[in-house]
Structure formats: C-alpha cells, structure tokens
C-alpha cells in the first residue's frame, strides 16, 4: 500500500458518505432557501450521524484530521451546501470543544452534533481580515465579566446561528497577544446582525455588538490567548479546506470526462480532440496532486508532527488553486450549457472562488510557506 492510499475502512466510509450525500442531503440542500441556514439539512446530517463524526467523544476532543478531510471531500463531490454546513458546524464549535470549560462543552457540543444548534466562527472584521491580529472589537472588563462592542463581518451562519465563537480585543495595542476568545449565545441583549448577499448563496452576514455581556465562564482558553484558540482550530481545519476543494475538482472532472466522452463534434467524441484530452489529463493530474498534498498534511497532523504550518498551507494553497483551474476547464469543455443557471458547473463555478480567500487567502499561504523555508 502506498503512503496515502486509503484503507478498506476509509474507502467504505467515503462511499457511504457519497451515497448519503447524493440520496438524502442533495435534495434537502436544493430545496433550501439560498443565503439562509438550512436547519432541515443540518438536522438530517445530525440524524445520520455525520455531524457526530466531527466530535469523536470520550478520550479526545478532536476528530482525526484525515477523517475530517475524507468527510469533507466526499460530501463536496455530491453537495457543496451539505459540505459547507457541516464544515461550519465544526469551525464554530471547535474553539469551544478544544478550549472551553466542561459546562460549555456539554451545553453546546451535543446539540451541534445532533443538528439542534447552529454554530459560527466570528473572527473577521471590516478592517481585520487576513491580518487577524489587527482586530478591534473591544471587550471591556466590568464587575460581572466583559462587554463586547464593535462589528464582525463575512461571518458564515450569521445572523442565524445559535451561538458564536467571538474573538475580541482585551488588551489594547498588544496585537495578537491582546486577543481573547468567548462563546456568545445569539440571544444576548445588544447582539444584532444582517445577511450579506454573496456570489455563492451561503448564509453569511454581519454582526453588531452593542455592549454585549459575556461572563467569566464564557472565556475560551486563557485571557489574551484567543489568537492561539483561533489558530488551534484553523490548523486542524486548513487542510480540510483543501479537501473541500478536491471534492469540487473531482465533481467537475467527472462531469467533464462524461461530457467529452459522449459529446460529438467534428465527426467524433470531444475526447478524441487532442486539446480536450490533454486538458482532461491536466485536470486529473492537478486533482490527484492536490488530494495527495491534503492527505499528507492531514496525516502529519494526526501523527503529532509539530512543524505543520508549511504542509497545511501547501495543501490549502495548491488544492484551492487547482480546483479553480479544474472547474474553469470543465466549463470550457462543456461550453455555454455549463453557464446556464442550475447546471452543476455553473454552481461549482460560483462555489470554487471563495476557498482561495477564507481561512487564509492564497497570498497568505504563500507567505507562510516562504517563512517556513527559513525556519
């Protein structure tokens, strides 16, 4: 068996997830309201046990990175909406799981795993995106805890989530060393928000904090160590963003191979045109290379290796850029039909753009990789 060949158990798992995605999740995703949280879809994923895969339970507070990647890749080949809904549940909940007090874990994690609660990860601000250490939402101490004041933007699942993992400035002028993380229930007085209309119709919004109270036991991790809380979660999830991209690339490649094999032009199937066949070969090669980089980064994380930043950055960078190429090439092979609203590739074309930006833009990943070369 080669280094990153899947075991029989893993292959069975990926096929099971694909089948569930195609038969049960895709119809629910397609019947949902674009731009809104699809609670029926989330509840079904909970009932099917897919959300529980994010939280393995007794003895550990983390899923295996490889399992997370296989889950996201498999879902993405069938339903990007289901994949994204699952990923957001994990991203918003993992800071609580990894750094929260036991009572916070017991309050929120089982509800998320069951599909009864919707989570959100609230880091980005109007003036703090890639430079997350520059965030300015303030947390001012008072006798009962803190008061949060400021704004968050481009927050997935906002403003419909049931709780938010919020990163706030607790020590002014201290950069990354002055940020703390809190879990904030959505029903807190002073917390409001609105939807944002995006190219890809996922639930994304803006949050406004007007003196929102949080209590001492809602602090995640240590005071002024919130940046570590964020990075701990992102280190786990970054390779799996690459897995999401690989799933989209595979879906686009499969569609292009099928179309080129049956579409007749110039007296024969498109696949007999060298320019088409060579494009398909390039698409397949980039998809497989991306997959192997993702599996390598996930395996390194699960093996407990400490120098993970470079491999995780390479996986996300290459996979998201490769998926952009593969989806675009698949559209070109299909021609105008792929641009019609409702076509799989029209959908993937809108979906594939965002992963090159969120959880660290491609330019940031290149900076990380270059820095690691001299570490």
Q: Kindly report the CATH class assigned to 120-224.
A: mainly beta
Confidence of residue 1 (pLDDT cuts 50, 70, 90): very low
Q: What's the confidence (pLDDT) of residue 326?
A: 98
Question: Rounded mean pLDDT of 53-70?
Answer: 80
The string of DSSP letters for 35-66 reads TS--HHHHHHHHHTTTGGGG---TT-SS--HH
Query: According to the model, what pLDDT value does residue 63 have?
Result: 82
16: left (phi over 0), alpha (psi -120 to 50) or beta: alpha
Strands (E), the chain: 119-122, 138-142, 145-156, 163-169, 179-185, 191-195, 204-215, 219-220, 264-265, 268-269
Q: Are 135 and 169 in contact (CB under 8 A)?
A: yes
Residue intervals in the chain for CATH 1.20.140.10: 228-373
Rounded to the nearest angstrom, the gap between the alpha carbon of residue 50 and the centroid of all alpha carbons in its chain is 15
The one-character DSSP state at 130 is S
Alpha-carbon distance of 91 to 299, in angstroms, equals: 20
C-alpha to C-alpha distance for 214 and 211, rounded to whole angstroms: 9
DSSP state of 300: H
Q: Which long-range contacts (CB under 8 A, 24 or more apart) does 188-196 make?
A: 188/212, 188/213, 188/214, 189/213, 190/148, 192/159, 193/155, 193/158, 193/159, 194/159, 195/35, 195/36, 195/159, 196/153, 196/154
Question: Could you read off the pLDDT of 277-326 as tens digits, one per residue?
Answer: 999 999 999 999 999 999 999 999 999 888 889 999 999 999 999 999 99
Q: pLDDT for 79-126, tens place per residue?
A: 999 999 999 999 999 999 999 999 999 999 999 999 999 999 999 999
**Beta-bridge partners for 220:** 181
| Number of other CB atoms surrounding residue 275 within 10 Å | 9
Among the listed residues 83, 218, 351, 359, the single catalytic one is 359
Taking the CA atoms of residue 65, residue 80, residue 160 and residue 241 in that order, the dihedral angle to the nearest 10 degrees is 30
Q: Residues 116-170: pLDDT tens digits?
A: 999 999 999 999 887 878 899 999 999 889 999 999 999 999 999 999 999 999 9
- Is it the case that residue 58 has pLDDT exceeding 90? no
* Beta-bridge partner residues of 167: 181
**Active site includes 351?**
no
Where do you find CATH 1.10.540.10 in the chain?
8-118
> Which residue from 348, 362, 353 is spatially nearest to 76, judged by alpha carbons?
348
Question: Rounded distance, CA 228 to CA 327, Å?
Answer: 35
For CATH 2.40.110.10, list the domain ranges present in the chain.
Answer: 120-224
Tokens 């879809």 belong to residue: 41
Rounded to two decimals, the pTM is 0.94
CATH number of 228-373: 1.20.140.10
**CA-based nearest residue to 155, from 103, 97, 204, 113:** 204
Q: What is the pLDDT of residue 95?
A: 96
Residue 64: pLDDT band (50, 70, 90) is: confident
- Statement: 8-118 belongs to CATH 1.10.540.10: yes
> Is 245 within 8 Å of 352 (Cβ atoms)?
yes
The residue with greater pLDDT, 194 or 132, is 194
Give the pLDDT of residue 3.
Answer: 59
C-alpha–C-alpha distance, residues 23 and 133, integer Å: 43
């Amino acid at each position: 068996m080669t280094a990153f060949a899947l075991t029989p158990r893993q292959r069975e798992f990926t096929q099971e997830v694909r089948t569930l995605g195609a038969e049960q999740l895709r119809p629910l995703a397609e019947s949902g309201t674009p731009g809104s949280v699809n609670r029926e879809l989330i509840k079904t994923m909970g009932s099917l046990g897919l959300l529980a895969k994010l939280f393995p339970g007794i003895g550990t507070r983390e899923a295996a990175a490889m399992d997370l990647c296989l889950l996201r890749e498999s879902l993405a080949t069938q339903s990007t909406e289901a994949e994204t809904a699952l990923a957001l549940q994990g991203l918003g909940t993992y800071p609580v799981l990894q750094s929260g007090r036991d009572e916070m874990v017991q309050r929120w994690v089982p509800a998320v795993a069951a599909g009864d609660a919707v989570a959100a990860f609230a880091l980005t601000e109007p003036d703090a995106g890639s430079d997350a250490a520059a965030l300015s939402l303030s947390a001012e101490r008072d006798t009962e805890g803190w008061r949060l004041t400021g704004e968050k933007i481009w927050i997935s699942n906002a403003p419909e989530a049931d709780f938010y993992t919020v990163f706030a400035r607790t020590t002014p002028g201290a950069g990354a060393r002055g940020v703390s993380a809190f879990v904030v229930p959505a029903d807190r007085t002073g917390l409001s928000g609105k939807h944002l209309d995006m190219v890809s119709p996922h639930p994304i919004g803006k949050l406004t904090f007007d003196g929102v109270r949080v209590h001492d036991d809602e602090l995640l991790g240590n005071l002024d160590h919130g940046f570590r809380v964020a990075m701990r979660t992102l280190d786990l999830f970054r390779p799996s963003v690459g897995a999401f991209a690989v799933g989209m690339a595979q879906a686009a490649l499969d569609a292009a191979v099928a179309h080129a094999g049956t579409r007749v032009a110039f007296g024969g199937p498109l696949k007999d045109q060298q320019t088409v066949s060579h494009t398909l070969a390039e698409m397949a090669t980039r998809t497989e290379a991306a997959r192997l980089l993702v599996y390598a980064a996930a395996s390194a994380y699960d093996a407990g290796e400490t120098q993970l930043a470079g491999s995780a950055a390479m996986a996300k960078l290459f996979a998201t850029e490769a998926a952009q190429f593969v989806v675009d090439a698949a559209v070109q092979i299909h021609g105008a039909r792929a641009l019609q609203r409702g076509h799989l590739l029209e959908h993937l074309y809108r979906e594939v753009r965002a992963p090159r930006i969120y959880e660290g833009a491609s330019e940031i990943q290149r900076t990380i990789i270059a820095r690691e070369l001299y570490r």
